[in-house]
Amino acid sequence: MSAAPKTTSTTASSSAAAPARATSAPTILVIEDYSDTRELLSTLLQSHGYHVVEAEDGIEGVLKAGWLYPDLILMDLSLPEMDGVEAAARIHAQAKLSRIPIFAVSAYLTKDVEQDVREAGCVEVFAKPLDTYTLLEKINDRLNKA
């Protein structure tokens, strides 16, 4: 029923090998444990021309950032295994990853949390529920500056 593949797939893979970039579209790593939110964000970003790779927890996100070197990371703060603040700090502690912009997302955003997130290296912080228009505008602005 399926036809022979035409090109290399650009969809995310859960395998250990880095996905090939068959497109020049900017790559965004979405780190979100809640599958419905992760799928919503991925679909939204893909519909706006971005290549998306997903991670389900902080440890997986740090590992994927290290071998993928995405153009931007969109990360929830409440993650299993390692929270988003710690994951952001570990990502930015690596010299080759220190310039990757990280956008944090939280349903429990306070001034103290926002300060911790910014100290960990996040350049934008968004409260849930997300204003997708503003999120996309900030992502587009950040990636068009690069």
Q: Are 91 and 102 in contact (CB under 8 A)?
A: yes
What architecture does CATH give domain 27-145? Answer: 3-Layer(aba) Sandwich (3.40)
Residue 46 CA to its chain's centroid (Å): 12
Per-residue pLDDT reduced to its tens digit, 96-129: 999 999 999 999 888 998 999 999 999 999 999 9
- The answer on pLDDT for 134 being more than 60 is yes
DSSP 57-103: SHHHHHHHHHHH--SEEEEESS-SSS-HHHHHHHHHHSGGGTTS-EE
Q: Which residues pair with 30 in a beta bridge?
A: 54, 74
> What pLDDT shows up at residue 109?
87
Poorest-pLDDT segment among 4-13, 23-32, 116-125: 4-13
- The answer on pLDDT for 17 being more than 50 is no
Tokens standing for 137? 């505008």
Of the pLDDT bands very low, low, confident and very high (cuts 50, 70, 90), residue 21 is low
